[in-house]
């Protein structure tokens, strides 16, 4: 009897094991692939929606998020509905409300039900802030920044001592302001592409540099040259004064020749850009003010730029700003309550222009008519504040009709810098 070698006897078994092993690994890889895909799909599903109620249809809310998306949310009768006061962080103080108490314009934080049917955004809990309550709180904050705030360009920073020195105004209105900070001072930094106060991020004092724009709020001394800051917000931006070379409404850009560098700069205009045009008399009055006109408000034509009859300072409105700023499910931006800042933006020079017949220049600029990119013409002068950049920037604020102001470029840049940082006021009503 011929004996089969051991290697030959086990070869069929080894072959079967190898084939089975291949099949096992193949099936395992498929299973892991499906598992990974399922996990990624689940990870991309937001756990909440933050924004403003744009519409109510039956039991469905349409919430416009801070990123401009319209999200339809089904609200079942089992959903917990609460209303909280602006700035309140303790949900135990929220009052229970009915679905009928919700209204278009209310700010809403919607916690989504993870067990809802696929493709359906269903509310598990809604915490809302009444539109009128939030508007009142924002106005109060704006008034406080106006009354107790200072602003200017950073001259120096002593991080160890917690002291920041600002320069504010120009000519007869120029002064130096010393900002004192402590460990209790809230320090924030504007996002690189925004001057939205609600999008400002916490940042240490050593993040502030000379040339930055800064606003502080707190207790000031009698002449406003020193302030014990409770809140500080700063940012690095570029000021550009120049003439329009071309306008591309399709690409949402314009080309501007910078008068300082003599170089062309491509300006990107986004939906968040604030664009206004100064009427001729307003521009002349501001130019006269910077040139040291005795009255501080009279132009060559004898016009006076005066506050509106109601004394109010209508600020430009923005959608998706205010309490609970930031992307749903991502923690948002700006700290504060649920990722946002529940106040109005800092504004004003703390009365720097009070009693000069023309009011705060920021208020004057806020009254200038809003314009669109297509309203700009080749060859006209513009002043703008933009993101930092050399050949391409994104406009934050842009002012047209500024030919008279370009005769005092340093003062004009200071005016626009202060206006750009302080003019954007959160609005959740849109």
Whether residues 247 and 310 fall in one domain:
yes
The pLDDT value given to residue 269: 92
The pLDDT value given to residue 7: 54
Q: Binning pLDDT at 50, 70 and 90, where does residue 10 land?
A: low
Whether pLDDT at 423 is above 60? no
Select the more confidently predicted residue: 354 or 148: 148
Cα–Cα distance, 355 to 64 (Å, whole number): 42
How high does pLDDT run on average in the chain? Answer: 75
Whether residues 298 and 387 fall in one domain:
yes
Give the domain-ending residue among 235, 270, 304. Answer: 235
- Average pLDDT (145-150) is 90
Report the share of the chain in percent with pLDDT over 90. Answer: 41
The answer to whether position 242 is within a domain reads yes
Give the domain-ending residue among 212, 235, 258. Answer: 235
Whether residues 227 and 244 fall in one domain:
no
Whether pLDDT at 253 is above 60? yes
3-state SS record for 414-430? HHHHHHHHHCCECCCCC
The pLDDT value given to residue 194: 67
Whether residues 144 and 203 fall in one domain:
yes
Put the strands of the sheet holding 107-112 in their side by side order.
Answer: 70-74, 60-65, 48-57, 107-112, 123-129, 80-83, 95-96
Radius of gyration for the chain, computed over Cα atoms and rounded to the nearest angstrom: 29
pLDDT tens for 266-317 read 999 988 788 999 998 888 887 777 666 443 333 333 322 222 222 232 233 3
Whether residues 86 and 72 fall in one domain:
yes
The pLDDT value given to residue 385: 85
Whether residues 268 and 177 fall in one domain:
no
Whether residues 343 and 377 fall in one domain:
yes
The pLDDT value given to residue 33: 53
The pLDDT value given to residue 366: 73
Whether residues 282 and 352 fall in one domain:
yes
pLDDT tens for 168-181 read 876 667 889 999 99
Whether pLDDT at 422 is above 80? no
The answer to whether position 301 is within a domain reads yes
pLDDT tens for 63-83 read 998 777 899 999 999 999 999
- Residue 324: which domain range? 238-422
pLDDT tens for 331-355 read 333 333 443 333 444 443 333 333 3
The answer to whether position 69 is within a domain reads yes
Tokens found for residue 336: 């504060």
Whether residues 243 and 187 fall in one domain:
no
| Range scoring the smallest mean pLDDT among 39-43, 104-108, 172-176, 401-405 | 39-43
pLDDT tens for 197-247 read 777 899 999 999 998 989 999 999 999 999 999 999 998 888 898 999 999
Whether residues 415 and 309 fall in one domain:
yes
The pLDDT value given to residue 412: 54
Report the share of the chain in percent with pLDDT over 70. Answer: 65
- Average pLDDT (180-206) is 87
The answer to whether position 100 is within a domain reads yes
The answer to whether position 325 is within a domain reads yes
The answer to whether position 52 is within a domain reads yes
Whether residues 181 and 62 fall in one domain:
no
pLDDT tens for 102-141 read 999 999 999 999 998 888 999 999 999 999 998 898 889 8
Name the residue among 7, 15, 43, 52 with its Cα closest to residue 427: 52
Whether residues 112 and 169 fall in one domain:
no
The answer to whether position 429 is within a domain reads no
The answer to whether position 31 is within a domain reads no
Count of domains forming the chain: 3
The pLDDT value given to residue 8: 55
Whether pLDDT at 425 is above 50? no
> What b/e sequence results for 310-349 when a residue is b if at least 16 CB atoms lie within 10 Å of its CB, and e otherwise?
eeebebbebbbbbbbbbbbbeebbbbbbbbbbbbbbbbbb
Give the domain-ending residue among 207, 235, 263. Answer: 235
Q: Binning pLDDT at 50, 70 and 90, where does residue 12 land?
A: low
Q: Binning pLDDT at 50, 70 and 90, where does residue 189 land?
A: very high
What is the pTM for the complete model shown? 0.59
- The CATH number for 84's domain is 2.40.50.320
């Amino acid at each position: 009897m011929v004996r089969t070698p051991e290697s030959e006897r086990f070869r069929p078994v080894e072959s079967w094991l190898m084939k089975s092993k291949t099949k096992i690994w193949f099936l395992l890889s498929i299973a892991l692939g499906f598992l990974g895909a399922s996990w990624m799909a689940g990870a991309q599903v937001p756990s909440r929606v933050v924004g403003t109620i744009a519409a109510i249809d039956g039991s469905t809310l349409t919430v416009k998020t801070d990123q401009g998306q319209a999200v339809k949310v089904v609200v079942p009768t089992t959903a917990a509905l609460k209303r909280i006061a602006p700035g309140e962080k303790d949900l135990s103080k929220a009052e229970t409300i009915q679905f009928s108490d919700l209204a278009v314009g209310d700010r809403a934080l919607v916690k989504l039900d993870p067990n809802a049917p696929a493709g359906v955004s269903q509310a598990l809990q809604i915490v809302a802030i009444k539109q009128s309550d939030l508007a009142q709180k924002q106005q109060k904050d704006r008034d406080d920044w106006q009354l107790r705030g200072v602003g200017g360009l950073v001259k120096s920073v002593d991080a160890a001592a917690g002291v920041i020195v600002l320069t504010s105004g120009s000519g007869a209105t120029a002064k130096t302001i010393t900002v004192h900070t402590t460990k209790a001072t809230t320090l924030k930094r504007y996002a690189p592409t925004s001057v939205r106060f609600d999008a400002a991020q916490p940042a240490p004092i050593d993040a502030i540099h000379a040339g930055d724009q800064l606003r502080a709020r707190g207790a000031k001394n009698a002449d406003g040259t020193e302030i014990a800051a409770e809140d500080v917000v700063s940012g690095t931006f570029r000021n550009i004064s120049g003439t329009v070379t071309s306008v591309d409404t399709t690409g949402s850009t314009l080309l501007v020749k910078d008068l300082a560098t003599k170089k062309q700069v491509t300006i990107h205009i986004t939906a968040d850009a604030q664009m206004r045009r100064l009427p001729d008399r307003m521009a002349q009055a501001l130019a006269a003010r910077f040139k040291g006109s005795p009255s501080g408000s009279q132009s060559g034509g004898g016009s006076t730029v005066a506050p509106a009859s109601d004394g109010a300072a209508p600020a430009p409105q923005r959608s998706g700003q205010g309490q609970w700023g930031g992307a749903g499910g991502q923690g948002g931006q700006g700290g504060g309550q649920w990722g946002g800042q529940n106040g109005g933006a800092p504004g004003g020079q703390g009365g720097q222009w009070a009693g000069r017949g023309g009011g705060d220049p920021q208020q004057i600029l806020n009254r200038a008519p809003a314009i669109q990119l297509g309203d700009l013409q080749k060859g006209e002068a513009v002043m703008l504040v933009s993101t930092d950049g050399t050949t391409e920037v994104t406009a934050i604020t842009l002012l047209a009709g500024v030919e008279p102001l370009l005769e005092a470029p340093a003062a004009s840049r200071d005016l626009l810098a202060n206006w750009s940082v302080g003019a954007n006021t959160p609005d959740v009503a849109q």
